[in-house]
Homo-oligomer: A and B are copies of this chain.
Amino acid sequence: MTSGPELPHPARDEIALTQVLFALSDPDRLAIVRQLAGGPLEMKACTPGETARAKSTRSHLFKVLREAGVLRSVPQGRGRLLTLRRADLEARFPGLLQAVLDGAD
């Protein structure tokens, strides 16, 4: 019934600033976050930067973002649905996400 594995997410107040900043400090991961800014996306449809990556590498990129509390990753069908944790991030670090999304490269 439940599809893929339920993976752990930090609670709102467990989200740590340095960990979030680190997660966002990689070009591929930042590209992912910017794609998600437009709304939830299926993981298969969410492609990191230019260069192709092995699927295990992709999985790792999402893992870092998930464990930092930047996004939520829930099973959906045979895949996963990714959502930016906007409200949680905004509550804890007001303006941060917006600044990162709007800022230059």
Chain multiplicity (copies): 2
Query: Residue A39 at the B interface, CB < 8 A?
Result: no
The proximity string for A residues 1-25 relative to B, scoring 1 for CB distances below 8 Å and 0 otherwise, is 0000000000000001111011011
- Give the residue name and chain of the B residue nearest to A16 (CB): B105
Interface size of A by CB at 8 A reads: 23
Contacts from A to B (Cβ < 8 Å): 16-19, 21-22, 24-27, 30, 92-96, 98-100, 102-105
Chain B residues near A105 (CB-CB < 8 A):
16-18
A25 to B16, CA, bound (A): 10
Partner pick for A103 among B17, B19, B26, CB 8 A cutoff: B17
Say whether, besides A94-B103, A96-B103, A99-B93, A21 and B17 are in contact (CB < 8 Å): no
